[in-house]
Chain A
Amino acid sequence: MNRPEPRPVSASPVDRCSAVLEAAAAVILGKEHELRLALTCLLARGHLLIEDLPGVGKTTLAHLLARLLGLEYARIQFTSDLLPADVIGVSVYDRASESFRFHSGPVFSQLVLADEINRATPKAQSALLEAMEERQVTVEGETRALPEPFFVIATQNPLHQIGTFPLPESQLDRFLMRIELGYPAARQEKRLLAGEDRRALVARQAPVLAPAELAALQELVVAVHAAPAVIDYVHAILAFTRASGRFAYGLSPRAGLGLLRAAKAWALLGGRDYVLPEDVQAVLPACCAHRLVGSGEGAVLDASRVDAEILAHVPVP
């Protein structure tokens, strides 16, 4: 893979993040908030699910992030005949050494794009999703660690489209965030039409962060301070989803941990070393909507409803 040299190191890691976002915004037009959420998700060591119609730039976003962060990138196109081995890899008999040799699959990459994940059968889905949670793969009794960092961006089509296998809620829970891209606004879309081919544009991007810098940033996220008042606030949100009767099931403790970690990453991107309630609020729709099912409804929540359903009812510290 042809990898350009990283740009010169600038002063603070937060400035580097801003640089990443700036560079990304130049390629994906008018989606600053979504880009910021995606980067937050990555800094919080979470996996990202992008749900939207085909052709709105899901794949471009994934590829772009890989380029900007200098990550090894692999793409798996999920289809209904995809097998777990296509994801994880297979052992092939090597005549020369007279033994089986493991040919690692695309999952052994730092950034894996699982395109249209809901087109594959649950069996293939679960092969990836297990790797996501464990950050390791066990093949034929041998456990192999996945690279570090390891980041999965999965895209899926809206559930009502024909030929989809919806992810079960237990697997949805493994994604830290779910975002939607949506159509660009009129001005940005015209710029997009007038501009260069996105693919070429992505290929030209030089990495902004070195892998070591990304790891350092991820460490910084963990160190962001969450005051007791913020912990109380996160807990109040969890308790509200469980007790209010508005949702079929409340948020899991894993969701709570993810929410706090994402809020910390969001705070770091905002240049702060402590979490504000607003940081929690900013990441809450992306972190929680896909884990909640409105009571009496059959489908997960729309992110836009989270504000009305939760935030307005939980007192802010």
Chain B
Amino acid sequence: MTIERAHWPEPVPDRLQQLWLTLVVIAGAVPLLSWLDWRIAVLVVALFALRLVALRWHGAQPGRWLLVLLTLAAVANCLYVYGNLSGRQGGAALFLSMLALKLLELRARRDLQLVAILLGFLVVVQFLFDQSLGLALYLALVIGGMLALLADLNGAAGGGRLRPALTTTTRLALQALPLTLVLFLLFPRLSAPLWDLGLDAEQARTGFSDTMEPGAVSELVVNGELAFRVRFYATPPPPEQRYWRGLVLWQTDGRRWTVGEPPQGGPVSLALAAAADRLDYEVVLEPTDRRWLFALDLPVAAEGAAFAPDHLLRARRAVESALRYRVRSALDYRTSPPSAALRDYALRLPAATITPRMRALVASWRGEGADDQAVVRRALAHFNREAFHYTLLPPPLGPNPVDAFLFETRRGFCEHYASSFATLMRLAGIPSRVVLGYLGSEPNAIGGYHMVWQSDAHAWVEVLLPGRGWVRVDPTAAVDPSRIDNQSASRLLGAGNPVRFELTQGAWLAQLARGARQFADSIDAAWQDWVLDFSAEDQLGLLQRLGLGRLGEYGLAVLMVATFSLTLGAVLLGLVRAPRVSDPLVSRHARFCRRLARIGLAPHPGEGPQDHGRRVIAARPDLAAPVSRFLALYLPARFGPAPDPRAVVRLDALLRGFRPRRRR
């Protein structure tokens, strides 16, 4: 009779490790999922769910053929959604899908280690999408989870499971910190990216488009995101002067305004007021995926940005990650008269949308032979006097929005005002154009800079006045303050969204919320300043301060590799050598072994001191006397009950004369 052998459970990888790995991967994939197409996300989430179910019920584990099918389906899915497998999104989608599939076939410990390494790649990929501090901290946690798993897999010493894994993780992280710092400070930085990732612009960013039609700006006005940060090098201008120009629109079809194709005249010169009026500042623009940049009305010099027609600033390429540039603006200026062609272009009207009552209104302003400036003044007075309301929830305007707004609804916000005003000016024979940008800025007392929010988006008008050039006119500002509807913004945000506290200035809660927002933003700004924008120049500056300014990029690379290898070497040396050499007896024995190692008689791994000595004597009978004497002193001193206090001295004396040589 036989009894079946006891069934031993599969020792590694155990279920807890598998579950832990799965959870870490899911946690690591969550941010990426939110940037990928929903069809990818659905498949990946389904694979994760299948994985979790299969961990609980082994029957649900898909077989080999089903896995092959799933793999093909995942590839097809990525191809179908993105059309390629190489772009940022396509590549990330394929990678994530494959990672989720790999989770379904964890057989050996090796698979777990592989997935743990792939997880590191997953973490890196996400920085192609977002480089914020929050994400970095979150992903650092994910890495920590992965390290804990690796520590557990490799049997971190000590009792229990969680404690040793966490201890090892913490220790590893602390050990990695100096290396990270070295890499961060010394890794040669490139002024331009090495390669063009061909980042697809399909990802919708908040911000301006290059057209203006009713409703476009109002979406921004309720958007809570940051547009850019400004650091003024001197006293900032008063709030009503903070018009940030971004885009000039020339052409209208009566409904929407576009950039159009203004004829390019010759160089436009500026007549500037006293030099004291110049204002220097630095802007850090959040990614927009567009090229246009924003500058205070009106930029005269810029660093890190190029000038475009109409005194606009342009980035050299689409702004896909935060961009830093410096500008000098003059608030008081006078532009030279444009070419006749441009003047004519700025007078073009969409004839079909001009109604008799619009003509009558303009004629009434022009009536008494007033000059252009007087017409502008009267037009502004009209907006102020008549029952024009500022609201973010304007009534629908029908096919001819300008006419309907001017004479019927009289409710709207900046784009309605700018659009109507510019049209009326053109009707009156005054060249005009619409400018898109931001108005105002919120000082951040903690960070010492100003914040401009997407909700500060604004549209205004520039009119061409004889003798003064282009002059900024803001018809929205002409609306009587009593007719500004404060409630509409919060209503537009919808129930449950945070109420905008600017609307209830002064309340302590509002101040608290404002302080919290400023604090959070100042942390973001510091992250941007000190980490993301640590550029080649900053690096050079740091090295110069350290007296290493002469190093070029190659020198830098050499310095980095040298520092890195030295650190690694030190760590390895620490690992190879016995960890505690504090016991003087141990160090004497180590010296004894080193001397013997020179003649090829180092102790084997796992060989005790006595066995080692016997082997040495067997191999080299001529060394029998010193080796026996050494061991006769060392062994009782190290392991005996009453160690000889003079053993160390005697061992030292013995070792002084102990220099074994190879036999000829």
Where the two chains meet, the residues of A that have a C-beta atom closer than 8 Å to any C-beta of B are: 80, 162-166, 168-169, 225, 227, 229-230, 239, 242-245, 247-248, 273-278, 281, 293, 295-299, 307, 311-317
Contacts and interface: CB of A to CB of B under 8 A. Distances in A.
Interface in B74-109: 109
Contact of A278 (B3, B153, B610): B610
Contacts of A230: 639
Interface in B1-24: 1-3, 5-12
A275 B3 contact: no
Interface stretch (B120-128, B535-543, B600-608): B600-608
Nearest to A118: B3
A103 B521 CA distance: 90
Given A243-B155, A278-B608, A297 B8 contact: yes
A295 B5 contact: no
Nearest to A307: B606
Contact of A227 (B157, B578, B608, B639): B639
25 contacts: A169-B6, A225-B640, A227-B639, A230-B639, A239-B158, A243-B155, A245-B12, A245-B154, A248-B8, A273-B640, A273-B641, A274-B639, A274-B640, A275-B639, A276-B608, A276-B635, A277-B609, A277-B610, A278-B609, A295-B12, A297-B8, A314-B606, A316-B606, A316-B607, A316-B609
Nearest to A243: B155
A245 B11 contact: yes
B636 interface: yes
B641 A163 contact: no
Contacts of B640: 225, 227, 273-274
A283 B107 CA distance: 36
B155 A296 contact: no
Given A225-B640, A273-B641, A298 B155 contact: no
B611 interface: yes
Contacts of B639: 225, 227, 229-230, 274-277
A230 B608 CA distance: 11
Contact of B5 (A166, A227, A273, A314): A166
A316 B603 contact: yes
Q: Which of B7, B156, B578, B638 has the most CB of A within 10 A?
A: B638
A239 B157 contact: yes
Contact of A312 (B11, B586, B606, B636): B606
A278 B157 CA distance: 24
Interface of B: 1-3, 5-12, 109, 153-158, 578, 586, 603-611, 635-636, 638-641
Q: Considering the complex of A and B, which 5 residue pairs feature the smallest CB-CB distances, nearest first?
A: A243-B155, A225-B641, A295-B11, A311-B606, A277-B608
B6 to A, nearest CB: 7
Contacts of A276: 608-610, 635, 639
Nearest to A267: B639
Contacts of A163: 1-2
A205 B404 CA distance: 127
Contacts of A244: 155
Contact of A168 (B2, B6, B155, B156): B6
B605 A248 contact: no
A81 to B, nearest CB: 12
A293 B6 CA distance: 11
A154 B154 CA distance: 38
Which secondary structure dominates chain A's binding surface? loop
A165 B3 contact: yes
A281 B608 contact: yes
Given A227-B638, A230-B639, A312 B605 contact: yes
Given A169-B6, A239-B158, A295-B12, 9 more contacts: A225-B641, A227-B640, A248-B9, A278-B608, A281-B611, A313-B605, A313-B606, A316-B603, A317-B638
Nearest to A122: B3
A314 to B, nearest CB: 7
A225 B641 CA distance: 6
Nearest to B2: A162
Contacts of B156: 243
B659 to A, nearest CB: 24
Contacts of B604: 312
Given A225-B641, A244-B155, A293 B3 contact: no
B15 to A, nearest CB: 15
Given A243-B156, A245-B109, A245-B155, A298 B5 contact: yes
A307 B2 CA distance: 31
Q: Which of A162, A164, A316 has the most CB of B within 10 A?
A: A316
Nearest to B155: A243
Contacts of A166: 3, 5-6
Given A243-B156, A245-B11, A278 B611 contact: yes
Contacts of A307: 606
A277 B606 CA distance: 10
Contacts of B12: 245, 295
A299 B4 CA distance: 12
Contacts of B608: 276-278, 281, 316
Nearest to B579: A315
A317 B1 CA distance: 48
Nearest to A281: B608
A229 B638 contact: yes
Q: Which of A163, A239, A277, A295 has the most CB of B within 10 A?
A: A277
Contact of B2 (A164, A243, A245, A298): A164
A290 to B, nearest CB: 14
Q: Which of A169, A276, A315 has the most CB of B within 10 A?
A: A276
Contacts of A273: 640-641
B574 to A, nearest CB: 14
Contacts of A248: 8-9, 11
A316 B606 CA distance: 6
Contacts of A296: 8, 10-11
Nearest to A312: B606
Contact of A274 (B5, B10, B636): B636
B157 to A, nearest CB: 5
Contacts of A169: 6
Contacts of B9: 248
Contacts of A311: 606
A229 B7 CA distance: 38
A168 B578 CA distance: 40
B578 A315 contact: yes
Contacts of B610: 276-278
A240 to B, nearest CB: 8
Nearest to B635: A276
A167 B609 CA distance: 37
A314 B608 CA distance: 11
A311 B608 CA distance: 10
B611 A298 contact: no
Contacts of B603: 316
Contacts of A295: 11-12
Nearest to A223: B641
B606 A299 contact: no
B8 A298 contact: yes
A307 B158 CA distance: 23
A316 B635 CA distance: 13
Contacts of A298: 5-8
Contacts of B611: 278, 281
Contacts of B109: 245
Contacts of A245: 11-12, 109, 153-155
B157 A243 contact: yes
Nearest to A270: B610
Nearest to A250: B155
Contacts of A162: 1-2
Contacts of B5: 166, 298-299
A242 B6 CA distance: 20
B138 to A, nearest CB: 31
A126 to B, nearest CB: 15
A296 to B, nearest CB: 6
A82 to B, nearest CB: 14
Contacts of B1: 80, 162-163
